[in-house]
Chains A and B, each alone.
Chain A
Amino acid sequence: MAHDIEIIEKTPAEFEYKKRRSDRLMRSQLMMFALMIFMTLISFAAVQAGFSAYFVIPVVLLLAAVQVGLQLYYFMHMSEKGHGLVAFFMYGGVLLAFLTVLAFVTIIWW
């Protein structure tokens, strides 16, 4: 059974474009990777340096949030086209989770 496998040849211009594009992507991914390692080091250093827990915990949480964002946008390609719905669902979920936690904190545990 031949299941019409289409073979599309790239034109040289297309090939060049794709190559430049993936080079650029690779560069940004490497940069972000370095940045994330750096942020992890800051977190460890902050704990090691023995600052007050009231300073360390928010900083570590903030850096963690930034890292989640970088992870999603630079490594899981959420910045690219066709991810609008995914982003909508994720932000929707984050909003609902935030409201739930806010309600729990304010009306149960306060």
Chain B
Amino acid sequence: MTTVSNSVEQKKGFGAMLWDWLTTVDHKKIGILYLIGGGFFFVLGGIEAMLIRFQLLIPNNDFVSAGFFNELITMHGTTMIFLAAMPLLFGFMNAIVPLQIGARDVAFPFINSLGFWMFFFGGLFLNLSWFLDAAPDAGWTSYASLSIASAGHGIDFYAIGLQIAGAGTLMAGINFLVTIINMRAPGMTYMRMPLFTWTTFVASALILFAFPPLTVGIFFLTFDRMFGANFFDHTMGGNTIIWEHIFWIFGHPEVYILILPAFGIFSEVFSVFARKRLFGYSAMVFATVLIGFLGFMVWAHHMFTVGLGPTANAIFAVATMAIAVPTGVKIFNWLLTIWGGSIKITTPMLYALGFIPSFVMGGVTGVQQGAAPLDYQLHDSYFIVAHFHYVIVGGVVLAILAATHYWWPKMFGTMLSEKLGKITFWFFFIGFHMTFFLQHFLGLMGMPRRVWTYMDGQGWNLFNLISTIGAVLMAIGVIVLIINVIITTAKNERVGNDPWEDGRTLEWAIPSPPPFYNFAQTPLVRGLDSYWIEKQEGHNGYTAAEPVTDIHMPNGSIIPFFMTLGLFIAGFGAMYRLEHDWGLPVLIFGLAFTFLTMGIRSIKDDLGYYVTKDQIRRMERGRD
């Protein structure tokens, strides 16, 4: 028991610290791990983007080879979606959602850790393709005929890497669903949950329904490529179009999995910095749920040109346009939240204000593409590239950057420099519009997407040049952010509970960073924006729902790390099975190792430990 109280009071050696991070099941630390992992892959995907833009800087460029360019675009898309945007959002969900609902941890801390390690090892596996063979080169959508014809092991890395990372995501989604349903503090009804918690909830439900199709699709691809199956080979009775359907049945909800938490982040930022209650809270919740539902009924709008027939195209076109309605409700609610508010232009608020016009532009081009006849013209042109970068960078990435500034003090106990933050914003925001706005017109001028290079004299030169300059500005913005993080960490100026001074939700009622047990007493929630209510009544902190009692906490465990390591090893075995003798034994060993660790987890009882009342009182006093 003494180790419990010591663990927060003593400095540890490097080995002990490393062990602590490898075995942690604390949602706040796993949030930070997701942030580090996602941040690393974000930089990697960004470097790939820069190489793409430098190749397209001038016509007839041979900065990279055509084959390498295909690998770059594939890995840029795959990395940014699966290994950067989603894990970064998971980082904030992990760090913040349990605090917002007044819980001490997520429902399944062990599975939370397992989810992180599966994401990390899956991403590592995918990116080792750069060094071991060739990277995947069939585009992030990996359409079946092309991906099955692709030589080498590139697509095998894609299939196995995403299978491992995807399983981790599914676990994380289920974990958040159970957490939000079961672990809300007394008084935290569904309609009192902060919008970020709500959007996390709906995004998790989308993960629950969207990731199994991906798992099935990738298994088909794996078996077609590595085990001689013929799911997508039409000469053997398969059907290559099925991959496209399965991929987009997953892929379309996936973009809502990304954008809904972004909406949640901006809803928090708007109401905090306009210092007003979120306008139309219940309409916002309803719109979120509706977007979630409709998200599953529109996947074929990615496939209008496949030849589904006019009836199918018409149905999916109408369903697609219907999504603009709940999204419009949200946009107007944000505008009306700012309206008449006492606005503070902080860095997160700047991102939020920049988000509205940027995202609306992406949404409008989305509705245009939703019209099937027009989509025949726009399909596979740079117009599409411009559209999805407007929604993903203009929506999701701006939200991630806003959340980084907004929740940094809560996660790390220090405040990122506002000055450098605003410099980051302006570089990133101007660079973003420079890069992608002109790509709409490149598309309308006929430039196809995914081309390695282009001929001179088509009028595309200037716009491509400007686009590349914009990308450099975005890179400068990100570098300034990294410098900001380093300076802030080095200075280490600690902040209090509510550093923005206008926090409304429960996470601001406790210290920054929170103690490992979060809440010394479970809070009592008396309405929407519960910390705001407390502040209005002159209270400092939150109203407790229980006396100080012993707190039950989970033990850390190294098992998730090894469980995933087994799958990582098995992946190499599956891939090299046909050409090396050691492949099959390695495949069997890896799977057996994973099953062994699962067995240990099942047999060994781990009931956690208790933090006693005395220890809690001592720690709470030590802080004041």
- Count of interface residues, chain B, beta-carbon cutoff 8 Å: 21
B205 touches A96 (CB 8 A): no
Tell me, yes or no, whether B209 is within 8 Å of chain A by CB.
Answer: yes
B312 touches A106 (CB 8 A): yes
With beta carbons under 8 angstroms apart, the residue of A1, A100, A106 that contacts B550 is A1
Residues 55 to 110 of chain A near chain B (Cβ within 8 Å):
85, 89, 92-93, 96, 99-100, 103-104, 106-108
Name which residue of chain B comes closest to A4, CB basis.
B549
**In whole angstroms, what is the CA distance A10 to B213 when docked?**
49
What A residues does B445 contact at CB under 8 A? Answer: none
What B residues does A104 contact at CB under 8 A? Answer: 242, 245
| Besides A4-B549, A85-B181, 7 new A-B residue pairs in contact (Cβ under 8 A), listed by A number | A92-B293, A96-B209, A99-B297, A104-B242, A104-B245, A107-B312, A108-B245
**In whole angstroms, what is the CA distance A96 to B610 when docked?**
43
**In whole angstroms, what is the CA distance A100 to B209 when docked?**
12
**In whole angstroms, what is the CA distance A106 to B315 when docked?**
12
The binding surface of chain B is classed by DSSP as helix
A3 touches B209 (CB 8 A): no
B209 touches A93 (CB 8 A): yes
B245 touches A1 (CB 8 A): no
Q: Given A85-B181, A100-B249, A1 and B241 touching (CB < 8 A)? A: no
Q: Given A1-B550, A4-B549, A100-B249, A108 and B209 touching (CB < 8 A)? A: no
B220-244: CB near A (< 8 Å → 1, else 0) gives 0000000000000000000101100
Tell me, yes or no, whether B622 is within 8 Å of chain A by CB.
Answer: no
Name which residue of chain B comes closest to A85, CB basis.
B181
- Count of interface residues, chain A, beta-carbon cutoff 8 Å: 15
What A residues does B550 contact at CB under 8 A? Answer: 1, 3
Tell me, yes or no, whether B368 is within 8 Å of chain A by CB.
Answer: no
**In whole angstroms, what is the CA distance A100 to B293 when docked?**
13
What B residues does A3 contact at CB under 8 A? Answer: 550, 610
What A residues does B312 contact at CB under 8 A? Answer: 103, 106-107
**Chain A residues in contact with chain B, CB under 8 A?**
1, 3-4, 85, 89, 92-93, 96, 99-100, 103-104, 106-108
Name which residue of chain A comes closest to B244, CB basis.
A108
* The 3 nearest A-B residue pairs measured at CB: A107-B312, A96-B296, A107-B308
Residues 300 to 314 of chain B near chain A (Cβ within 8 Å):
300, 308-309, 312
B610 touches A107 (CB 8 A): no
What B residues does A99 contact at CB under 8 A? Answer: 296-297
What A residues does B245 contact at CB under 8 A? Answer: 103-104, 108
**Min CB–CB distance B448 → chain A (angstroms):** 26
**In whole angstroms, what is the CA distance A28 to B205 when docked?**
34
B279-308: CB near A (< 8 Å → 1, else 0) gives 000000000000001001100100000001
**Min CB–CB distance B461 → chain A (angstroms):** 41
Name which residue of chain A comes closest to B181, CB basis.
A85
**In whole angstroms, what is the CA distance A103 to B303 when docked?**
13
**Min CB–CB distance B159 → chain A (angstroms):** 22
With beta carbons under 8 angstroms apart, the residue of B239, B296, B610 that contacts A1 is B610
A1 touches B612 (CB 8 A): yes
Q: Given A1-B612, A3-B550, A99-B296, A107 and B209 touching (CB < 8 A)? A: no
**In whole angstroms, what is the CA distance A103 to B306 when docked?**
14
What A residues does B549 contact at CB under 8 A? Answer: 4
Question: Which of A1, A107, A108: most chain B CB closer than 10 A?
Answer: A107
What A residues does B213 contact at CB under 8 A? Answer: 100
